[in-house]
Amino acid sequence: MTASDPPQTPAAGPPQTSTPAAGPPQTSTPAAGPVPAASAGTVPAVRFHGPADVRLEEVPARDPLPHEVALAPLAVGVCGTDGHIVAGDFPAARPVVLGHEVCGRVTAMGSAVDGLAVGDLVTVEPHHYCTGCVYCRLGQEHLCDHRRGYGVRLDGGMTRRQIVPGRIAYRLPAGTVPWIGALTEPLACCVHGMDRLAPVSGLPLLVYGAGPAGAMMVALARAAGLAPVVAMDPRPQRRDLALAMGAHAVFDPTDPTAEATARALTGGHGFPYVIDAVGSGRVLRAAVDLASRGGRILVFGV
């Protein structure tokens, strides 16, 4: 998920990954000081040039500056935001290298980077922050006046070589499967959503929408001890996914008996916690109808 401009829509299908073709890692000697980055030749990249205009082309590569790291992306998630960018519904720079759900390996480092080493497997927090505005200085970087998103305003991970500040590259366990590592960013969004919802263990929770984000919400709810955890989705394969992720019950919202049956699982009180992981006015109205007195609704899909 990226929040550079308007909020994003969670992905509508199972996470897809794009794995760059195998090749030897690129390395360079870390720069000795704050000197301009030298050219590192060219690398293939997937770039957005306008609605329905995405091209695979060679782009200039460079070495990292002292505070930066160079990554060889291994897996990049295709997010719902990417679909909206390509459709022309979400503003993005032109041309920009797409991809903000990234797992890659560090291939080169600037001299001022701490806590990482060449060869580390990392994921990327996909925003560039100025670090100098009042919000950044207060530790509220998500409100940064100059925040820009990788894969939206800045070149993202659908390439052989991505350069990012070392401070936003987070080491993953060495044995992490790359496509799972690429799910770190959407999972972090779900964790944040659950933190905002603040559910109490032992109470019921309802999730509308069992795509990747909704399925992760189901798993987090089970891990938090909520019960029953119920999911609503009109697609059979999505309902199966919700069950696989730990839902106690699933329903097709187009079934006229679904809401009454789901409510009965709460003793008739309704759900104290409801998550809209779809982003639909119709779904939000249904969420209000099924919420209990004093219930909380998390509007996650937008």
CA-to-CA distance for 284 and 277, rounded, in angstroms?
Answer: 10
CA-to-CA distance for 252 and 7, rounded, in angstroms?
Answer: 27
CB 162 within 8 A of CB 155: yes
Residues 6+ apart with CB under 8 A from 256: none
Active-site residue (options: 81, 123, 159, 266): 81
Tokens of 120: 């580390």
Q: 212-223 and 184-197 are packed helices; what angle lies between their axes, rounded to 10 degrees?
A: 60
Cis peptide before 95 (omega within 30 of 0): yes
Beta strands in 142-239 (DSSP E): 148-149, 162-165, 169-171, 205-208, 229-232
CB atoms within 10 A of CB 42: 13
Identity of the amino acid at 204: P
- Whether the CA torsion 192, 195, 199, 202 is positive or negative: it is positive
Tokens of 251: 């329903």
CB atoms within 10 A of CB 36: 9
Active-site residue (options: 27, 67, 84, 176): 84
DSSP 142-162: GG-TT-EEBTTTB--SSBS-E
84 is a catalytic site residue = yes
Tell me the catalytic residues: 81, 84
